[in-house]
Chain A
Amino acid sequence: MKSNRQIEHFVAPVDETPLLPTDTLRVEAAPLSLWADAWRKLRRRPLFIISSVMILLIITVALFPGLFTQTPPNQNCLLANSEAGPTAGHPLGFTFQGCDVYSRIIHGTQASLSTGVLSVLCVLVIGVTFGALAGYYGGWIDAVLARLGDIFFALPILLGALVITQLPFFRENKSVWTVVLVISMLAWPQMARITRGAVIEVRHADFVTAARALGVSKFGALARHVLPNAIAPVIVLATLELGVFIVLEATLSFLGVGMPESIMSWGHDISAAQTSIRTNPMILIYPAIALSVTVLSFIMLGDAVRDALDPKSRQR
């Protein structure tokens, strides 16, 4: 249906552009760097405060489990206590094997956290090195990295991890380090890709050209000018991956191909608690809560850091 209304003239209501309080800008004050700015943003985010407090607590538990429980996790397991409920000194009850659930959770923190942190460090070292070289120099390093990245990208990480952990070397030398090695081998290409992209964005910036013109060597410019300005997305990915790697370790241990039995891991505990799921599900739920809360803390931290460091997402 067409309107018959005649529009004689139309003038859009135009507001005068209001005068913004730009006069209050203090020109003499030094501009905040990206990091100082991000830190100011972070300090005010409740998500950041909550996750930092939780992570500090988790780190304390991992470093000093003795502060939180006096019960050794593996000794004194009495089959008489199998699946028994909470008693004095054993607030969460006992596992199928009669071990103290609370003590096992406390002592399992270390494996999860150390695997996560070590894997992230390895991935950072390998990924940033290759990614920065490929993005900055281009040429054959870039071509090799692109192909390698494609190949690893086509191999889903859990699938690859399952195959690698069954190699004789890994099967016979199970330890925190083999899990870290498996995760790093499969996860570094993504870090390299992100670094490469960030380096490519920065490498032709004016301040890099200026540094080169002042006689800084090509590698020196990469190390002192390009990398520090390309590191923000890398930090964000690293924080998020910490949580992802902790899940991966727990999943591998759950499948029986991760940590050796001698090391306490939440994945093991959840796997062992499967036998009790119908009779006493809480034996499974407690370590699951510990795992989820740990991962949630790191993912929340990563989310807050991304919001603070990514200017695009904070504009609006």
Chain B
Amino acid sequence: MTRYILRRLLQVIPVFLGTTLLVYYMVFALPGDPIAALFGDKQPPQSVIDALRAQYHLDQPFLVQYGIFLKNLFTFDLGVDYTQQPIAATLARIFPVTAMLAIEALIIQAVFGVAFGLFAGLRRGKLFDSTVLVASLVVIAVPTFVLGFVFQLIFGVQLGWAKPTVGANANWETLILPAVVLGLVSFAYVLRLTRTSVIENMNADYVRTATAKGLSRPRVVMTHILRNSMIPVVTYLGANLGSLMGGAIVTEGIFNVPGVGNKLYQAVLRGEGPTVVIIVSVLVLVFVVANLLVDLLYAWLDPRIRYEK
């Protein structure tokens, strides 16, 4: 187990370096001057350009720039954006909002996806199962931004169950509507994955053994079928964090949530290189670490991995 954890930890390093290097290169080293873009048509004095270039280390060779960026990232010295606001303070303000949104969406898709998938799988071929299967295809087909507008219109504007836009006061309650929208697409995938997995495990030898031992049906379902069916689902949930982050860009825009996705979108459109690179790097780090945790959870769920040399 220790060796497994160590190996997984070591694998994280090249992935993180590779991804951040790729993003850093695309933002700063490809043709097109990020500083000149700031001023639009006006030509700033050369001294201003030089000062800005020095401040963002753009006068250094590329790899040195990247090295300084990494050093700053790990010492939490994130510097200032092009409007001279400290990026660290901005992150501290917007990150908890997106974390709340993502956790809420994750809970919604995991709890409802697994519950519906389990019931559908146990009643395979029945009315509930076929209805849920077709409905999940429809949910998958509707893009997040369409779903966002439709939900905003129906539940926010017409029914008035939730506030159509979140604005400054983001908390667990106001974030429910965007979280449902964000979680819904993956909810359908979780449901289908759980269903397939449950059907596969229902006919497994160990389930027959458990039933033959005289265990009650709920116990067989909960500890034998469900736990083993969770293995692919947990992997999917971890890998899916990435699309959750992508979805957050759209959802936060529609519901005006002051979070990371919204900020990143604005920063990309305005060409604020330093902010973009830092936000993307932090997101990549979160994603990589989350997948590491998922792999460890996976090892806990599946003894075959745990006891592997």
**Interface set of A (CB-CB < 8 Å, partner B):** 147, 150-151, 153-160, 162-164, 166-169, 243, 247, 250-251, 254-257, 270, 274, 277-278, 281, 284-285, 288, 291-293, 295-296, 299-300, 303, 313, 316
Contacts and interface: CB of A to CB of B under 8 A. Distances in A.
A291 B146 contact: yes
Contacts of A160: 23
Interface of B: 11, 14-16, 18-19, 22-23, 26-27, 30-32, 137-138, 140-146, 149-150, 152-153, 157, 196, 199, 203, 239, 242-243, 245-247, 249-250, 253, 264-265, 268-269, 271, 276, 280, 283-284, 287-288
B21 to A, nearest CB: 9
Nearest to A148: B18
A146 B74 CA distance: 27
A160 B249 CA distance: 12
A155 B146 CA distance: 24
A268 to B, nearest CB: 12
Contact of B19 (A155, A293, A303): A155
B26 A163 contact: yes
B219 to A, nearest CB: 17
B276 A163 contact: yes
Contact of B32 (A168, A274, A278): A168
A238 B150 CA distance: 29
B297 to A, nearest CB: 18
B242 A156 contact: yes
A288 B146 contact: yes
B149 A162 contact: no
Contacts of A167: 26, 30, 32
A147 B280 contact: no
B31 A168 contact: yes
A256 B276 contact: no
6 contacts: A158-B245, A163-B280, A251-B145, A251-B250, A257-B269, A281-B153
A159 B150 CA distance: 24
Contacts of B32: 167-168
A285 B149 CA distance: 9
Given A150-B14, A167-B26, A316-B199, A159 B137 contact: no
A151 B271 contact: no
Nearest to A284: B149
A247 B242 contact: no
B274 to A, nearest CB: 13
Contacts of B264: 159, 162
Given A156-B243, A167-B26, A316-B199, A255 B250 contact: yes
Nearest to A313: B196
A157 B242 contact: yes
B269 A256 contact: yes
Contacts of A168: 30-32
A247 B143 contact: yes
B143 A251 contact: yes
Contacts of A292: 138, 141-143, 146
B141 A147 contact: no
Contacts of A291: 143, 146
A51 B140 CA distance: 15
Nearest to B279: A159
A151 B18 contact: yes
B215 to A, nearest CB: 16
A156 B26 contact: no
B208 to A, nearest CB: 14
Contacts of A153: 239, 242
Given A166-B269, A256-B269, A274-B149, A155 B141 contact: no
A291 B138 CA distance: 12
A285 B150 contact: yes
B93 to A, nearest CB: 20
B196 to A, nearest CB: 7
A156 B15 CA distance: 13
B141 A255 contact: no
B19 A154 contact: yes
Contacts of A284: 149
The 7 A-B pairs of least Cβ separation, nearest first, read A158-B246, A168-B32, A296-B141, A156-B242, A151-B18, A288-B146, A295-B141
B141 A288 contact: no
Given A162-B265, A250-B143, A154 B138 contact: no
Contact of A159 (B18, B145, B203, B283): B283
A299 B14 contact: no
A292 B149 CA distance: 13
**Which of B15, B27, B143, B271 is packed against the most chain A CB atoms within 10 Å?**
B143
A258 to B, nearest CB: 12
Contact of B144 (A164, A251, A257, A316): A251
Given A157-B242, A159-B246, A251-B144, A296 B284 contact: no
B131 to A, nearest CB: 14
Contacts of A147: 14-15, 18
